[in-house]
Amino acid sequence: MTTVGIPRALLYYQYYPMWKTFFEHLGAELVISPPTTRTTLMKGTARVVADTCLPVKIFTGHVLSLVDKCDYVFIPVIRSLKPKTYNCAKFLGLPDMTRAVAPESPPVLEIEIDVNRGKRYLYQSVYGLGRHLNLNPLRVKEAAVAAWETLLNYRRLMSETGLMPLQAINTITGVTEKVPGEQQDTSATPELTIAVVGHAYLLYDEHINYELIHRLGQYGAMVLTPEMLSEQEQNAAVTRLVGQPYWTYEEDVVGAGGHYLLNKADGVIGVMAFGCGPDSLMMEMLRREAGNRQSTPFMCITVEEHTSETGVVTRLEAFLDMIQRRKARRVALCT
């Protein structure tokens, strides 16, 4: 049986159930790289140029961890998902970068998704990917339709039930893999409700963010994330703040952050990677929105390979203390 490797990084948290359905319908077996460790980061860092962002360094480390474990490694190129929106250039060059910096990696299976080029190009891209495993176009079409339905169910599960991606992946795929740090205690009333916004590869890789979501739960906070919002809620916030979106996945940052600054949350935490141009612009929009409204506190945490765990924890504790004092003062004024 043909084996396809999936790096546990970047788009994994958003699309893994869809990829799993597609490849398994075509008779392939998936091999997932292990969770991120310090070794993963160091191996990836050693292969790429210095100004490469942290998520791509980690992605490279995950690709290297799949060497000799699979027949192919799957690296999709998401150029655009909506008309006149564009993705980060580093995402567009991932397959070529992998071939250059990790020549020992398995052959790359790639697909380019670009809505701007129309449906015909999309169909050709899907078949171009599927033909490596099955030459029958009808089987490829069936696999693609099933994969799309899985993605819709995955997103619906998170927005309707409040599950985070790794929990939803376990539910969708029937896997019983332990999900550290994502279980929230719903038996007790949370002291605070904190929204965490950013790209999924920053929010759910606990090595990158030093178990941010887990720590918030330990401090008694209920955590809200972008996946818990409907597409309509995210799009409404993006339209209100920026009008026409420019960046692919802008709704994960501007959409979710803009929504939570006005609804449900006692505070909002943004997570971004150092050196990310698109994220720096989007986080600045949220800072200005929070400053203009002065209703919901906002903090941005920037991560890279030299980020100190102590520094992250100190800022987090100070942010939560400030919100608790703010709430206590409001209660005192009301009574």
Q: Do 216 and 98 fall into the same domain? A: no
Question: Is the model's pLDDT at 280 over the cut of 70?
Answer: yes
Q: Residue written as tokens 């474990």?
A: 69
The Cα–Cα gap between 75 and 56 comes to: 12
pLDDT digits (tens, 9 = 90+) for 135-147: 899 999 999 999 9
The Cα–Cα gap between 112 and 114 comes to: 6
User: Does residue 176 fall inside a structural domain?
Assistant: no
- What pLDDT is attached to residue 90? 85
- What pLDDT is attached to residue 251? 85
Q: Do 191 and 152 fall into the same domain? A: no
Question: Is the model's pLDDT at 198 over the cut of 60?
Answer: yes
The sheet with strand 108-109 has its strands ordered as: 29-32, 3-6, 72-74, 108-109
pLDDT digits (tens, 9 = 90+) for 144-194: 999 999 999 999 999 988 889 999 999 888 766 655 454 455 445 568 999
- Using an 8 Å Cβ cutoff, are 98 and 66 in contact? no
In what helix (H) or strand (E) does residue 273 lie, and over which residues does it extend?
strand 267-273
The Cα–Cα gap between 311 and 295 comes to: 26
DSSP character for 262?
H
Residue 224, beta-bridge partner list: 195
Residues 6+ apart with CB under 8 A from 25: 139, 142, 143, 146, 147
Domain extent at residue 135: 3-158
Question: Is the model's pLDDT at 286 over the cut of 80?
Answer: yes
User: Does residue 37 fall inside a structural domain?
Assistant: yes
Q: Do 120 and 220 fall into the same domain? A: no
pLDDT digits (tens, 9 = 90+) for 28-67: 999 999 999 999 999 999 999 988 899 999 999 999 999 9
The Cα–Cα gap between 67 and 63 comes to: 7
Q: Do 82 and 7 fall into the same domain? A: yes
Q: What SS3 class is residue 76?
A: coil
| pLDDT band at 201; cut points 50, 70, 90 | very high
Q: Do 140 and 8 fall into the same domain? A: yes
DSSP string, 1-57: --EEEE-SSTTHHHHHHHHHHHHHHTT-EEEEPPPP-HHHHHHHHTTS-TTS-HHHH
Q: Do 240 and 296 fall into the same domain? A: yes
What is the amino acid identity at position 14?
A: Q
- Using an 8 Å Cβ cutoff, are 47 and 208 in contact? no
Percent of the chain scoring above 90 in pLDDT: 59
Top-confidence residue, 328 or 96: 96
- What average pLDDT does the segment 259-281 reach? 89
Mean pLDDT rounded to a whole number for the chain: 89
Q: Do 113 and 231 fall into the same domain? A: no
pLDDT digits (tens, 9 = 90+) for 101-122: 999 999 999 999 998 898 899 9
Percent of the chain scoring above 70 in pLDDT: 93
Domain with 31 in it: what CATH number? Answer: 3.40.50.11890
Residue 5, beta-bridge partner list: 31, 73
User: Does residue 177 fall inside a structural domain?
Assistant: no
- What average pLDDT does the segment 299-324 reach? 91
- What pLDDT is attached to residue 270? 94
The total domain count for the chain is 2
Q: What SS3 class is residue 225?
A: coil
Question: Is the model's pLDDT at 332 over the cut of 80?
Answer: no
- What pLDDT is attached to residue 20? 95
pTM for the model stands at 0.89
User: Does residue 174 fall inside a structural domain?
Assistant: no
Q: Do 195 and 274 fall into the same domain? A: yes
| pLDDT band at 335; cut points 50, 70, 90 | low
CA angle 313, 315, 321 (to 5 degrees): 100
CA angle 329, 330, 335 (to 5 degrees): 100
User: Does residue 207 fall inside a structural domain?
Assistant: yes
- What average pLDDT does the segment 3-28 reach? 94
Q: Do 123 and 265 fall into the same domain? A: no
